[in-house]
Chains A and B, each alone.
Chain A
């Protein structure tokens, strides 16, 4: 066939098609609700198929093969005719497109009955309020955590859909990886990162949150002598900034004589580890030795656990063995042995961040929420009569206010 003949034939076909299109445009102008529904269903189906492809691709399936399969399915779904019936997939039977919040914790951190569990609760509460999907990852080892981290980054980087995703890294263990890889998410407008807690904002993509604890721990140190003149502070290690800050603040508060000075006052600090990642778990035998090796001079001792998950071991032993009262750190503890707590409302802070992320205004690049903002505080919750009496006699409202104001000021100075 001559080229000219082919061109003519094609031109003819195109002309016919143009005519058909014109006819359809004319019809479209008059299309009724039913047709609009049809089109919406088709568009939804295309979108759904694209999401399915993305998910399958992220799981290692060949994109081209899937694209072809879904295109054919689409054609069949949209156009298969049995008389005048068009078969279309049930739109109610499609995967959720609700925003997804993924959280990763430090190894074995979840279930600590404190800080990490509060984050979990904050995320779940936000999910309930805003109708989000969640996935919270609690690795057993740092290696497993890094594997999770890599997988989530890959998926968020590769995602082609418009599902909003927020990845919350609630762990200090992966700081290096995070700061080296956060910019990979810039390829996806729908993917965001929230790193907590850090006082150093991320360069490039990603939000950060920091709850300074200086003020609340200062307050805890200040009221500690009300309960006991002798204090044992057990800290995870002397390398981590947040631990150092808590120890310093408590010490400063304790040594500022807000309540009557006592000759028997004694303050012992012990570290569980020298290493930067050590001291967040402790064996029963070690904890027993640390608790009961001291030659205390009085009958009242207070233990302050600044050691994350290891704190639960000390609390458990004290509940069984007695001999100490203890300070709740990060979260309150309902116990006759726990008269007051330095609390971080990280649950509320995380829920706030998620709300900001979903809002039109968005989340601030870096947020600091401390004692003055109400996101950390000293909660006095005496349980026994003796504790209640001690607080009522020694911790007047005026003194409490003075300690609070000092703590706010100290925190502000420290944060400078």
Chain B
């Protein structure tokens, strides 16, 4: 053996020595195969400060990513192609980038409105779109693959790295509620007002504020949207004025801001209000808000108006740009923003490296780069093994995040050393938990594209500096929530408690034998944009037909123009989900719907007349209504809107009460989808034999669901879909269980049930006698 080794060495020696010639030239060759990949970044780089920040963040990432790959012979040379979100034509750019094969993914845009314009093109080509900071519930829900479990065949393409502002709206309210609850014995219910921009970003706060106010026992006095700074200041001034009239109360102003200037102006207006008060102003040396002599007293008076901001674009340079008085005027003001999980260390490393805190956008941008880079790396390494099919970035992102959800934990993988460990394991087929600069990167396993964990920071401004007071996780330290935030389900126990409160006193009532059953199904709205209301009504219609209802026992009232509207990509067809059946024309074992009335030919009073003509003393009647709603505080009247008519001309609460009194029925079940539905159905309180349910409380809007990119409309509503699903899956359910199902699955509003005490025992009776035809 030893001889053989010796022999080998002797034979190899000339090989080594023979190549060492003086006239040899050395050519340096790469130590590994670098594969160039390009990611497009669409960011507000037209703003100089943002450009500086994002570029240095990108440079830092690329440096780390390069170093982390030096263990391998195959490495990704990631190139970034920058586009300015502020100056470029986003529709044209999105079409161009979505169609380019050399672009593996697009990161950005950063503003919610920009994402709304960018996403449709990427949706068509399935171009991976990684949005670092888009938080509008409306956008994410539209482009999430499935919103209600109905569209499971579609493929994900939009990856949102931040939870929607549903979570932030909840955090704003709940953090203040702690204080309100503590002082409630002395000061009564906490009062609050929410002011949000009237745009895609502000929409989420505006929609969800009533929901969280109810959840947190906060009396929401105002929920206003503003279109200009002046309007915002006026709205806040009006609220302050109203609060002064209410004596000593715990009240808060929640201001959703989009610019640092708005923070400054609101703070200054608060100061002016105090200085304008004849009593409070006595503490100050002058009534000039910019008098530095007043600054030292201001700490005491700030809390006169508890003002909390939701503001995500906070930066040192942004504050400095407000001028020399900004530090004093904004002294002590506080707010909340999505941010980075402090346990990743990114915030501190960034500060050590650059001397300032990273912005929310930078934290998420770093993660977006990581996601794009790691997915590209994964796809490139898998290509030789499983071919091109898997070499798809969307699939890779899903594999690294959703499929690796049960993987063993690892620390954050954002710096070079830990990134190397992550990539080494990944290349060997071992997926580790994906923890980036801002925390865990995970997406809802059902909806795919919605982030399930986000860390929020509670910030305060002191002496012009940004102080991070505390951090909040949507579901605890590095533990993933099971659902995307906009799929918020309220606790079963809470729902039961809610039911007990609303349905207390329901006892067995003796009814005559059931002789016949009727249903009146009404779409109160008009126009193609309200497609979903018609789909709701037709869903209930088909559920009744499945239950054996003959067509002549169902009165169907819908807008006859929607199905054949030129905007309908499938003329004559109405679906409640992307792949669902045609609910109007039938097919696939569904009967064609027989429309009794075109709503264009009726008024709300006509509908009342129709209802009064239906039924008999021994028959059950179901009234289902989908459409828009108003309340006295939101639109001028408590009513279900009737087509385009102004307020007061809809199906009002008093009209419902009068109609119900005059109708002949054994039992009457009312189910209502419209916003603020409770304020209308409450009108039947006290009428024997009537039970009413609504999808929203008197202060809440109800919610649409399932967006169609082809038709550009929502296809259904949440409460109605849950109602139909529950009745279809379990027609023998009790009223109690039906309510609990709808309450826990109807997201963004609180389902309500009215008049149980005059209807009967809801535990032992159920809706089957309204949806299953007994005489068949």
Instruction: Tell whether A325 is near chain B: CB-to-CB under 8 Å.
Output: no
A17 touches B352 (CB 8 A): no
Q: Which B residues lie within 8 Å of A60 (CB)?
A: 428
Within 8 A of B (CB), among A10-58: 10, 13-14, 17, 20-21, 24, 27, 31-32, 34-35, 37-38, 41, 48, 52, 55-56
Instruction: Tell whether B417 is near chain A: CB-to-CB under 8 Å.
Output: yes
Q: Which residue of A lies closest to B75 (CB)?
A: A93
A38 touches B24 (CB 8 A): yes
B182 touches A288 (CB 8 A): yes
Mask, A52-96, CB within 8 Å of B = 1, is: 100110011000000000000001001101001111111101111
Within 8 A of B (CB), among A302-348: 312-313, 315-317, 319-321, 334-336
Identify which of A110-118, A181-189, A195-203, A407-415 touches chain B. A110-118
A316 touches B458 (CB 8 A): yes
A284 touches B178 (CB 8 A): yes
Alpha-carbon distance between A17 and B9 when the two chains are bound, in angstroms: 12
Alpha-carbon distance between A55 and B465 when the two chains are bound, in angstroms: 44
Identify which of A137-145, A167-175, A205-213, A352-360 touches chain B. A137-145
Instruction: Tell whether A365 is near chain B: CB-to-CB under 8 Å.
Output: no
Q: Which B residues lie within 8 Å of A284 (CB)?
A: 178
Given contacts A108-B343, A312-B470, whether A334 and B465 have CB atoms under 8 Å apart is yes
B462 touches A90 (CB 8 A): no
Mask, B160-198, CB within 8 Å of A = 1, is: 000000000000000110110010000000000000000
B470 touches A84 (CB 8 A): no
Q: Which A residues lie within 8 Å of B10 (CB)?
A: 10, 13-14, 17
Instruction: Tell whether B424 is near chain A: CB-to-CB under 8 Å.
Output: yes
Within 8 A of A (CB), among B8-32: 10, 12-32
B15 touches A100 (CB 8 A): no
Majority-rule SS of A interface residues? helix
Within 8 A of A (CB), among B367-424: 409, 411-412, 415-418, 421, 424
Instruction: Tell whether B348 is near chain A: CB-to-CB under 8 Å.
Output: yes
Q: Which A residues lie within 8 Å of B17 (CB)?
A: 20-21, 24
Q: Which residue of A lies closest to B409 (CB)?
A: A144
A86 touches B27 (CB 8 A): yes
Alpha-carbon distance between A355 and B645 when the two chains are bound, in angstroms: 78
Q: Which A residues lie within 8 Å of B417 (CB)?
A: 100, 102, 133-135
Alpha-carbon distance between A7 and B478 when the two chains are bound, in angstroms: 71
A79 touches B15 (CB 8 A): yes
Instruction: Tell whether B243 is near chain A: CB-to-CB under 8 Å.
Output: no
Q: Which A residues lie within 8 Å of B345 (CB)?
A: 110, 120, 124, 136, 138
Instruction: Tell whether A402 is near chain B: CB-to-CB under 8 Å.
Output: no
Q: Which B residues lie within 8 Å of A134 (CB)?
A: 415, 417
A111 touches B341 (CB 8 A): yes
- Number of B residues whose C-beta is below 8 Å from A? 66
Instruction: Tell whether A296 is near chain B: CB-to-CB under 8 Å.
Output: no
Instruction: Tell whether B332 is near chain A: CB-to-CB under 8 Å.
Output: yes
- Cβ of A355 to closest chain B Cβ, rounded Å: 16
- Cβ of A30 to closest chain B Cβ, rounded Å: 9
Alpha-carbon distance between A105 and B182 when the two chains are bound, in angstroms: 35
Q: Which B residues lie within 8 Å of A85 (CB)?
A: 24-27
Instruction: Tell whether A401 is near chain B: CB-to-CB under 8 Å.
Output: no
Instruction: Tell whether B349 is near chain A: CB-to-CB under 8 Å.
Output: yes
Majority-rule SS of B interface residues? mixed
Instruction: Tell whether B477 is near chain A: CB-to-CB under 8 Å.
Output: yes
Alpha-carbon distance between A323 and B348 when the two chains are bound, in angstroms: 31
- Cβ of B22 to closest chain A Cβ, rounded Å: 7
B415 touches A128 (CB 8 A): no
Name the one of B70, B175, B176 contacting A95, with C-beta atoms under 8 angstroms: B70
Given contacts A13-B10, A140-B409, whether A111 and B28 have CB atoms under 8 Å apart is no
Alpha-carbon distance between A315 and B458 when the two chains are bound, in angstroms: 12
Q: Which A residues lie within 8 Å of B175 (CB)?
A: 320
A41 touches B26 (CB 8 A): yes
A138 touches B299 (CB 8 A): no
- Number of A residues whose C-beta is below 8 Å from B? 76
Q: Which residue of A lies closest to B479 (CB)?
A: A140
Alpha-carbon distance between A316 and B341 when the two chains are bound, in angstroms: 17
A84 touches B341 (CB 8 A): no
Given contacts A27-B22, A384-B299, whether A121 and B15 have CB atoms under 8 Å apart is no
A90 touches B465 (CB 8 A): no
Alpha-carbon distance between A120 and B349 when the two chains are bound, in angstroms: 8
Mask, B447-490, CB within 8 Å of A = 1, is: 00000000000101011010111110000011000000000000
- Cβ of B566 to closest chain A Cβ, rounded Å: 55
Total A-B contacts with CB atoms under 8 angstroms apart: 171
Instruction: Tell whether A396 is near chain B: CB-to-CB under 8 Å.
Output: no
Given contacts A38-B20, A111-B341, A320-B175, whether A88 and B418 have CB atoms under 8 Å apart is no
Q: Which residue of A lies closest to B463 (CB)?
A: A334
Instruction: Tell whether B67 is near chain A: CB-to-CB under 8 Å.
Output: yes
A110 touches B342 (CB 8 A): yes
B415 touches A52 (CB 8 A): no
Q: Which B residues lie within 8 Å of A124 (CB)?
A: 345, 348-349, 352-353
A94 touches B70 (CB 8 A): yes
A84 touches B178 (CB 8 A): no
Instruction: Tell whether A385 is near chain B: CB-to-CB under 8 Å.
Output: yes
Mask, B517-534, CB within 8 Å of A = 1, is: 000000000000000000
B71 touches A95 (CB 8 A): yes
Q: Which residue of A lies closest to B72 (CB)?
A: A52
Q: Which residue of B lies closest to A60 (CB)?
A: B428
Instruction: Tell whether B296 is near chain A: CB-to-CB under 8 Å.
Output: yes
Alpha-carbon distance between A234 and B769 when the two chains are bound, in angstroms: 61
B424 touches A316 (CB 8 A): no
Q: Which residue of A lies closest to B465 (CB)?
A: A334
B470 touches A86 (CB 8 A): no
- Cβ of B688 to closest chain A Cβ, rounded Å: 44
Q: Which B residues lie within 8 Å of A267 (CB)?
A: none
Alpha-carbon distance between A52 and B73 when the two chains are bound, in angstroms: 11
- Cβ of A292 to closest chain B Cβ, rounded Å: 7
Name the one of B22, B349, B477 contacting A140, with C-beta atoms under 8 angstroms: B477
Q: Which B residues lie within 8 Å of A93 (CB)?
A: 30-32, 70
Q: Which B residues lie within 8 Å of A21 (CB)?
A: 17
- Cβ of A150 to closest chain B Cβ, rounded Å: 13
- Cβ of A283 to closest chain B Cβ, rounded Å: 12
Name the one of B23, B182, B343, B471 contacting A292, with C-beta atoms under 8 angstroms: B182
Instruction: Tell whether A125 is near chain B: CB-to-CB under 8 Å.
Output: yes
Q: Which A residues lie within 8 Å of B71 (CB)?
A: 52, 55-56, 95
Q: Which A residues lie within 8 Å of B15 (CB)?
A: 75, 79
- Cβ of B409 to closest chain A Cβ, rounded Å: 6
Q: Which residue of B lies closest to A56 (CB)?
A: B71
Q: Which residue of A lies closest to B30 (CB)?
A: A90
Mask, B38-72, CB within 8 Å of A = 1, is: 00000000000000000000000000000100110
Q: Which residue of B lies closest to A109 (CB)?
A: B343
Within 8 A of A (CB), among B425-443: 425, 428
Q: Which B residues lie within 8 Å of A88 (CB)?
A: 26-29
Q: Which B residues lie within 8 Å of A52 (CB)?
A: 71
Q: Which A residues lie within 8 Å of B19 (CB)?
A: 78-79, 81, 86
Alpha-carbon distance between A317 and B178 when the two chains are bound, in angstroms: 9
Given contacts A35-B22, A128-B352, A321-B179, whether A385 and B296 have CB atoms under 8 Å apart is yes
Q: Which residue of B lies closest to A90 (CB)?
A: B28
- Cβ of B26 to closest chain A Cβ, rounded Å: 5
A86 touches B30 (CB 8 A): no
Given contacts A17-B13, A55-B71, A336-B332, whether A110 and B463 have CB atoms under 8 Å apart is no
Name the one of B22, B29, B411, B470 contacting A137, with C-beta atoms under 8 angstroms: B411
A316 touches B22 (CB 8 A): no
Mask, A225-259, CB within 8 Å of B = 1, is: 00000000000000000000000000000000000
Task: Please list 8 pairs of residues, one from A and one from B, whose beta carbons are closer than 8 Å in the complex, sorted by A's number.
Answer: A34-B24, A35-B20, A91-B28, A100-B417, A136-B345, A139-B409, A320-B176, A335-B462
Which 3 A-B pairs rank lowest in CB-CB distance, beginning with the nearest? A111-B342, A89-B31, A95-B70
If A100-B417, A124-B349, A336-B299 are given as contacts, then 10 extra A-B residue pairs at C-beta distance below 8 Å, sorted by A number, are A10-B10, A56-B71, A78-B16, A79-B16, A111-B471, A120-B348, A133-B416, A139-B411, A335-B460, A336-B332
